[in-house]
A = this chain, B = another copy of it.
Amino acid sequence: MTILAHGKSGTLKVAPIVKDDRQVEAFIEINERQLADLIMITSGAYSPLETFMDEENYLSVIKGGRLVDSTLWPIPITFDVQEAPTAGTILGLKSGGRHLANLEVLQVYEPLITEELNSTFGTEDPAHPGVAATLARGRFLVSGPLTLIDEPHDDIHGHYLTPVESRAIFQMSKWKSVVAFQTRNPIHRAHEYLHKVALELIDGLFIHPLVGATKDDDVPAEVRMEAYRVLIDNYYPKDRVLLATYPAAMRYAGPKEAILHAISRQNYGCTHFIVGRDHAGVGNYYGTYAAQEVFDELSNDDLKIQIIRFEHSFFCKKCEGVVSKRSCPHASDHHLVLSGTKVRQMLREGTALPTQFTRSEVARVLEEQYR
């Protein structure tokens, strides 16, 4: 069974790498977020987008959560510049000295900042990291045909797969169903439990950690990748799990970003997507279940991928196992719950993490980092 890509046509919109002989009028060194969006668009992960949004689609998305053709799309994907180029200009997009793509300027427009912030983040508070990143953008947005010249992803972690590649692996593995798990943190026993709950019902697990731009206090990507590898090596059925890096940048847009994450995982070929409590949230900007409930408002045709909603889980001393409040009747004093802050503190102080909380192999990787 193959799941269609997002959008009316149902096909992945993958940009081929081509030779482009046209004259580049200006080169732009793109930032980490622009690079992430370029990778997502050109790999097909943001199908049906084929380039950064024009003003019509930008307005349609921030006003109604849909592209002009009515396809569900929660968040504007735009290319910002500090100074307005003239229409017809070819912009050369460079990163790390490499010329990755050309963007032909068909349209230059100014964003509706207030409307965009409220639509995407539900707040204009500059303390919100996604709001801050939006406010820090260049003044103008640019759109036009995008031509890919070089592979934009560097794969420094050695686990990158494009949607075409992940779909090929799912098919080769004969998985009829694949559930994607988005994370930007090490996987503790609680997450492992949810993965295994999913594996009782679904054929394949796609562990798809975000290793692009995140908040500063997250654990470094290379440490997280090593923790994933030792966890999978020691505790997961190898023929039913696939680890690959997710190249998008975090926006911390809560419910809106949950939809974006689901759309892209459908493009990667997944049939199911796990949405936990406060998915893609930050601080107290979103309700605990807002990123789950947002899917209730969609119609059946909006998404092909199915959402699996999970509660927080924890080790319960009475149950003698990992459970959640959906499955455990015992009072919270029987539960072993450690916040991310507490875990980081224990790691800094050299206190061993309890094995009911973190597999010892994973703890060793994290301790190594904090020593």
A197 interface residue (CB < 8 Å to B): yes
Chain A interface size, as a band, is 20 to 34
Contact of B200 with A324 in the complex, beta carbons under 8 Å: yes
What does the 1/0 interface line of A322-356 toward B look like (CB < 8 Å)?
11111111000000000000000000000000010
Contact of B329 with A238 in the complex, beta carbons under 8 Å: yes
Known pairs A321-B321, A322-B321, A355-B320; A199 contacts B237 (CB<8 A): no
Q: Which residue of B lies closest to A320 (CB)?
A: B355
Complex Cα distance A319/B361, Å? 12
Chain B residues with CB under 8 A of A172: none
A215 interface residue (CB < 8 Å to B): no
Chain B residues with CB under 8 A of A174: none
Chain B residues with CB under 8 A of A309: 201
A140 interface residue (CB < 8 Å to B): no
A128 interface residue (CB < 8 Å to B): no
Contact of A196 with B327 in the complex, beta carbons under 8 Å: yes
Complex Cα distance A235/B238, Å? 32
A289 interface residue (CB < 8 Å to B): no
Contact of B201 with A327 in the complex, beta carbons under 8 Å: no
A240 interface residue (CB < 8 Å to B): yes
With beta carbons under 8 angstroms apart, the residue of B199, B238, B311 that contacts A326 is B199
Known pairs A200-B310, A311-B200, A320-B355; A329 contacts B237 (CB<8 A): yes
Complex Cα distance A322/B200, Å? 12
Q: Which residue of B lies closest to A196 (CB)?
A: B327
Chain B residues with CB under 8 A of A355: 320
A117 interface residue (CB < 8 Å to B): no
Complex Cα distance A310/B318, Å? 25
What does the 1/0 interface line of A286-311 toward B look like (CB < 8 Å)?
00000000000000000000001111
Known pairs A321-B322, A355-B320; A200 contacts B237 (CB<8 A): no
Q: Which residue of B lies closest to A202 (CB)?
A: B326
Contact of A200 with B326 in the complex, beta carbons under 8 Å: yes
A285 interface residue (CB < 8 Å to B): no
Complex Cα distance A143/B133, Å? 76
Q: Which residues of A contact B (CB under 8 A)?
A: 193-197, 199-201, 234-238, 240, 308-311, 318-329, 355
Residue pairs across A and B with Cβ atoms less than 8 A apart, 22 shown, are A193-B321, A194-B200, A195-B327, A196-B328, A197-B197, A197-B200, A197-B201, A199-B327, A200-B326, A200-B327, A201-B309, A234-B318, A235-B318, A235-B319, A235-B329, A236-B329, A237-B326, A237-B328, A237-B329, A238-B329, A240-B326, A321-B321
| 7 extra A-B contacts, CB within 8 A, seeds A201-B309, A236-B329, A240-B326 | A193-B321, A196-B328, A234-B318, A235-B319, A235-B329, A237-B327, A238-B329
